[in-house]
Amino acid sequence: MTITRRGFLIASGAAVGLLRASGAPAQQPPAPVPGKEKLIVRSPRPANLEARLGDLTAYHTPEDVFFVRNNYDAAPIDPAQWSVKIEGEVDNPLVLRLDDLKKLPMVVQDVTLECAGNGRSFHKPRASGIQWEHGAVGNGAWKGVRLADVLSPARPRSAGRHVAFDGYDKPPTPQAPDFIRSVPMWKALEPHTILALEMNGKPLAHLHGGPARAIVPGFVGSASVKWLERIVVLVDEFDGFYMKSNYTAPRADNEKQVYSLQSLEVKSVIVGPSEGARLAAGRTAVWGWAWSGEGELTGIDVSTDGGQSWTEGTFTGSWSRYSWRKWEYEWDARPGTHTVMARASDSLGRIQPTSRAFNRLGYRWNVIHAVKVDVA
């Protein structure tokens, strides 16, 4: 059975008319979250909010454009009533309140957080999960106490080789698994791993895990559990859904086996110029951000001819061990349509790839970012 374009338009118009006549409500986009109006609402509840690349212009990402990733909801927590338990393979279990943490030495760490699924929407075929594009990433100045200083008075036993974080967020049904993630003890004791109480000079907002959250730099964002309720020292990696099923990827040498994600991939994005930009011929600044998880950035290359040739860019400005770095490239733009690309490399020998094998949950997307621009 065939239908002409005119017939399709008539039929679809009639269908819309019938829906309106029947009083069926038109589907509306989700309402913006107060204080986060600039973000794209990927899921209203639990709140999952994505930044637009054009808003990621500052080294420290402002709170109003810092992405939000939640698996479950958590009720607002009164800081005066908050506490965290330290338990498991320890000789001296503890319950600590905010005042107890504030007696410990405070540190400030610049750390980039990125959702493990950032870029998922670019996988083909479609991967399962929230369809993030490029903006589930941000760089913050996190102030808090070292996790090592929190664990020390609890006296972890030598058998404890992993540390699990459990937050106050609760599953929506009794059948749903609790959101618990663990990290190896070596990472928990690293000086950069902290319990954060502030973000960008302000008390940690509820949407970002306040009053206290873990910050595990270099690891996927899910390791930095929000609204901390328990910290548990374990003999083995936590054996739960969010370690064994979600936040996993197939092993390179055996696709039937999966591993729990840890380090972020080496990655870069182009912030300027933006996709579809119309530029005047002449000197043009190409720039963006790059980060690398457990590796350290060693280079950034830029192509303005769709990857046929590459030229070294320059890292500029301030940065810290686990923060993103700004990169720049001066381009003598000539008239025509151009595909601008950027690829980062790191000390682990990793370099951004031109493609990424599909995985069902759409993780590890760090394919070279490209934008098409017109120069007149």
Q: Which residues pair with 214 in a beta bridge?
A: 195
Average pLDDT over residues 266-277: 98
CA distance 214 to 123: 29
Q: Which residues of 276-308 are buried (b: 16+ CB within 10 A; e: fewer)?
A: eeeeeeeebebbbbbbbbbbebbebbbbbeeee
Q: What are 310-320's pLDDT values in tens digits?
A: 999 999 999 99
* pLDDT exceeds 50 at position 334: yes
CA distance 343 to 326: 13
First-to-last alpha carbon distance for the chain, in angstroms, is: 47
Q: What are 145-168's pLDDT values in tens digits?
A: 999 999 999 999 999 999 999 999
Average pLDDT over residues 37-55: 97
Q: What are 237-264's pLDDT values in tens digits?
A: 999 999 999 999 998 888 889 999 999 9
The per-residue pLDDT for 18 is: 36
**Percent of the chain with pLDDT strictly greater than 90:** 89
The per-residue pLDDT for 23 is: 55
Average pLDDT over residues 268-286: 97
The per-residue pLDDT for 30 is: 87
Average pLDDT over residues 179-192: 98
- For the chain, list the domains and their CATH numbers: 40-260 (3.90.420.10), 267-375 (2.60.40.650)
* pLDDT exceeds 50 at position 2: no
